[in-house]
Amino acid sequence: MRIAVVPGDGIGPEVTREALKVLGALATAEISLFPWGADHFLKTGETIPAGAFEMLARDFDAVLSGAFGDPRVPDGRHADEILLGMRRRLDLFANVRPVRALDDSVVPLRRARAADVDFVLFRENTEGAYSGRGRVTGAGTSGEEAVEEDVTTRRGVERICRAAFEFAVAFGRTRRPGRRPRVLMADKHNVQKGGGGLWHRVFREVAAAFPSCENRHMFADALAHEMVRSPASLDVVVTNNLFGDVLSDLGAALQGGLGLAPSGNVHPGRTSVFEPVHGSAPDLAGRGIANPFGSIRSLGMLLAHVGRGDLEERIERAVAACLAAGETTRDLGGKLSTGEAGDAVVARLAGGKARGSGRAPRAPVRARRAGASPRRRRAG
């Protein structure tokens, strides 16, 4: 298993370190660390080197990523070029964001339990409002106008809808036995007649090819309401890039907060990028208190992507056991540091307890220099 790791900015390196600790406890992998992020950009003027995307696709099975965004780079240029760059240049068209609460204690809704919060968001990840195209005219004048180009293509909608249905079939088999899995598409075709209209038509066409699934449409605003009022009604949700971004933070809240939410930027069969839903959290960076569970669960998704779904399930169970025992960082009411929370997961994987049962095993990691970038090492 060859894994590229891009820890990035802020809490990115802090949470990624814990995910690597968990990886070290589970499997043998060759890890290459890449320094791309705000520090590297400010020092060298380079966001991501020429040829990097081709190198990732060629030399690695998957990428584990931290987060990008730093107040010292106000226009976020490096985040655009690294993060959105990977999504676009590796053609990772499906941003898969599970909304799965692992313990009743983390569900913020008064009348819902963990079992009620278990669905998956499929966010289109390469187009829409993220086209990067647009213009500002008359800057600084009273007539200033900004136009953003929201680009929707038939090919783009078709492939994300198809991926959502294909996933729903498999999800239904294991997680919804005894009933047809549901795929819900959310748009705003009442306002966005062009792009929304295209989503609406193509979703219906794709749905017709999957008679074993129920299909349903809601406007994106109504879906936000439904996610809070009736999350148990949802199995798979498919939507565009910008609605998916906003709804995935709402989804994170439903499963206990941004500290817990995992994601994958996926192109089935290709090198894909896994990262927590949260950002670089400058308010927490350097304090050793960020929750690493989102990154650790993203590692689980990565392992499933490379054929080790068994390890993903073990990670999910270990994190669930930590939550049930209150072995958490302070965002969830616990007392653990980021490092202790990572140790707690490792201890649960080994079937033990984090505290009062001796020290959690450390990942046996041997590092060796491989030039300026990347740093390569083996875990496991």
- Residues with catalytic function: 130, 188, 221, 245, 249
280 interface partner picked from ligand IPM, Mn ion, ligand NAD, none, CB below 5 to 8 A per type: ligand NAD
Closest residue to ligand IPM, judged by C-beta, is 245
Place of tokens 């499929």: 122
Name 171's Cβ contacts closer than 8 Å, sequence gap at least 6.
120, 181, 235, 236
Q: Could you give the CA distance from residue 5 to residue 16 in angstroms, rounded to a whole number? A: 8
Q: In the complex with ligand NAD, which residue's Cβ is closer, 23 or 284?
A: 284
Question: Pick from 18, 235, 245, 327: which binds Mn ion (CB under 5 A)?
Answer: 245
CB of residue 79 to ligand NAD, shortest distance in Å: 6
CB of residue 331 to ligand NAD, shortest distance in Å: 4
Does residue 124 touch Mn ion according to CB under 5 A?
Answer: no
CB of residue 294 to ligand NAD, shortest distance in Å: 6
* Contact between 154 and 198 (Cβ < 8 Å): yes
Q: In the complex with ligand NAD, which residue's Cβ is closer, 79 or 161?
A: 79
CB of residue 344 to ligand NAD, shortest distance in Å: 15
Does residue 67 touch ligand NAD according to CB under 6 A?
Answer: yes
Q: Could you give the CA distance from residue 213 to residue 40 in angstroms, rounded to a whole number? A: 47
Three-state secondary structure readout of 194-216: CHHHHHHHHHHHHHHCCCCCEEE
Q: In the complex with ligand IPM, which residue's Cβ is closer, 29 or 92?
A: 92
Q: In the complex with Mn ion, which residue's Cβ is closer, 47 or 263?
A: 263
Q: Could you give the CA distance from residue 343 to residue 356 in angstroms, rounded to a whole number? A: 12
CB of residue 130 to ligand IPM, shortest distance in Å: 7
Question: Pick from 98, 156, 294, 342: which binds ligand NAD (CB under 6 A)?
Answer: 294
Stretch that binds ligand NAD, among 67-75, 109-117, 153-161, 183-191 (CB under 6 A): 67-75
Among 96, 28, 17, 52, residue whose Cα is nearest residue 301: 96
CB of residue 15 to ligand IPM, shortest distance in Å: 14
Distance, first Cα to last Cα, the chain: 11
Does residue 278 touch ligand NAD according to CB under 6 A?
Answer: yes
Where do the H-state alpha helices sit in the chain?
12-26, 38-44, 52-59, 77-79, 85-89, 154-175, 195-208, 220-229, 241-254, 293-305, 309-324, 338-349
Q: Could you give the CA distance from residue 290 to residue 296 in angstroms, rounded to a whole number? A: 12
CB of residue 244 to ligand IPM, shortest distance in Å: 8
Stretch that binds ligand NAD, among 47-55, 280-288, 301-309, 362-370 (CB under 6 A): 280-288
| Exposed e or buried b per residue across 187-205, where buried means at least 16 C-beta atoms within 10 angstroms of its C-beta | bbbeebeebbebbbebbee
Which string of x and - marks every residue 68-97 that binds ligand NAD (by CB under 6 A)?
Answer: xx------x--x---x--------------
Q: In the complex with ligand NAD, which residue's Cβ is closer, 215 or 271?
A: 271
Q: Could you give the CA distance from residue 196 to residue 318 in angstroms, rounded to a whole number? A: 41
Closest residue to ligand NAD, judged by C-beta, is 69
Q: Could you give the CA distance from residue 114 to residue 324 in angstroms, rounded to a whole number? A: 11
Is the sign of the CA dihedral 207, 210, 216, 220 positive or negative?
negative
Among 302, 357, 301, 348, residue whose Cα is nearest residue 323: 348
Q: Could you give the CA distance from residue 342 to residue 336 in angstroms, rounded to a whole number? A: 9
Does residue 258 touch ligand NAD according to CB under 6 A?
Answer: yes
Summarize as ranges the residues that interact with ligand IPM (CB under 6 A): 69, 79, 83, 245, 277, 279
Size of the site for Mn ion (CB under 5 A): 1
Stretch that binds ligand NAD, among 56-64, 146-154, 274-282, 366-374 (CB under 6 A): 274-282
Q: Which residues of this protein are in contact with ligand NAD, per CB under 6 A?
A: 11, 15, 67-69, 76, 79, 83, 258-259, 275, 278-284, 290-291, 294, 331
